[in-house]
Amino acid sequence: MTNPAALAQENETSRANRPPLLFALPKGRMADESLAFLERTGLTGPLDTNSRKLVLPNEDGSIGFVMAKPWDVPTYVEYGAADVGICGLDVLRESGRKVHEPLLLPFEYCRLSVAGPANRPDTPLRYASQPRIATKYPRLAQEFFRQRGVNAEVIGLSGSVELGPVLNLADLIVDIVETGSTLRANGLVEIRTILEVQAVLIVNRAAYQLKSREIQGIIERVRAVI
């Protein structure tokens, strides 16, 4: 049975050992790009990115880096588990998380687009009759079609969205496009851009006030590089 006093002591010790500022970064390629960009601002990254620790301190211990799944970064920041974060604008808009967005960052450029079969009739989307849409972005997709008066059925997928039209699961897809090569390889073409995407710096609303000096320092460093 867990001892409440021991648990409280453990939580207090954990808070005491927490770096003054926690920075959430998305795992994978975007983490590498984010760290390379932060290095240009003069902010030192974690000492060991291969460590199995969950919070990775920088050289002077002033910042702890949390490597999270990309879709979790806005959640960590909104709820104060992290003070600052970097994520894609697509992820932030789909999540609907309430955070400060002081700066767009000059990397991870792409776009969220509607795409469909290349041989699709050239009919305006507003004339489509209850199309089925496959996407990893159900919230943004539903909003896009609703604003145009289209009664779309949105089907949520976690990967390989391009298979939707290929397997007759969906008429159209909403997905991230960079070069368009994956679309072309599957007989699809872009129809409409929903959102221009790039990386964005996000800040917890309470931390923006309570840790104003530290966070403003980061924002000014980033702005100078941009």
Q: Kindly state the DSSP code that residue 57 receives in the 8-state scheme.
A: E
Q: What is the pTM of this model?
A: 0.86
Same domain, 20 and 79: yes
Residue 104, domain extent: 4-109+198-225
Same domain, 105 and 118: no
The total number of structural domains in the chain stands at: 2
Helix axes 29-40, 212-225, angle to 10 degrees: 90
pLDDT in tens, 17-36: 567 899 999 998 899 999 99
Does pLDDT of 10 surpass 60?
no
Q: Are 18 and 64 in contact (CB under 8 A)?
A: yes
Same domain, 116 and 169: yes
Same domain, 216 and 105: yes
pLDDT in tens, 102-136: 999 999 999 999 999 998 877 677 667 789 999 99
Same domain, 85 and 20: yes
CATH number at residue 161: 3.40.190.10
pLDDT in tens, 64-89: 999 999 999 999 999 999 999 999 99
Alpha helices in the chain (DSSP H): 4-17, 29-40, 73-78, 89-95, 138-147, 163-166, 181-185, 205-210, 212-225
pLDDT of res. 13: 40
Same domain, 15 and 105: yes
Same domain, 40 and 55: yes
Measured between alpha carbons, how far is 210 from 84 in angstroms, rounded to an integer? Answer: 13
Confidence of residue 45 (pLDDT cuts 50, 70, 90): confident
Task: Give the contacts of 49 (CB within 8 A, at least 6 positions apart).
Answer: 31, 35, 56, 67
